[in-house]
Amino acid sequence: MWQDFADYIINETKNQNVKIAEIGVGKFNAISEILQKEDNITLIKTDIQPADATVIKDDITNPNLELYEDMDIIYSIRPPSELQPYLVKLAEKINCQLIIKPLTNEDLNTGKVKMKLKNFNKASFYVLR
C-alpha cells in the first residue's frame, strides 16, 4: 500500500521538477525514502518534534510559510483530525495540491472544504486540487 501511495505522488509529478513537503512525518519514513530516490523531486519533511536531523521543526498550526514557498504538493500520513484543517489552510494559502492519508475508517475534519477520495491500486487517500 505504501509503495502505491508513493507511486501516486510520483505519477503526479509527471517527471517535472517539483517541490514536495511531508508534514507531521513523525518516525514513519517509508514514503519519503521512496520519493527521495526520484531525481525530479525536492522533498522536505517537517514535524513539531523532529525525530532526526532530516526533519525540519515546524508547527502546522502556525507554519513558517517560507518553508513551503513554491511547494507543488504537500502530504500528510495519518494526521490527527484536529490538524487537518491547518493542512487545508496551508495548501490553499500556498496554492498547492494536498494529499491526506488518514487512519483507516477515519473521517476527515476539513470543514467546508471537500476533499476527493482517491483509490490508487491498494492505496486510498484524499486529494485537494
Q: What is the pLDDT of residues 17-75, one digit of tens each?
A: 999 999 999 888 999 999 999 999 999 999 999 999 999 999 999 999 999 999 999 99
The domain limits of the chain are 2-128
List the one residue out of 80, 78, 69, 35 whose CA is nearest residue 54. 35
The CATH code for residues 2-128 is 3.40.50.150
Alpha-carbon gap, residue 51 to 119, rounded angstroms: 30
- Compute the distance between CA of residue 62 and CA of residue 3 in angstroms, rounded to an integer: 31
CA–centroid distance for 65 within its chain: 15
Tell me the average pLDDT across 84-112: 89
Q: What is the pLDDT of residues 7-19, one digit of tens each?
A: 999 999 998 999 9
Q: pTM, whole model, 2 decimals?
A: 0.93
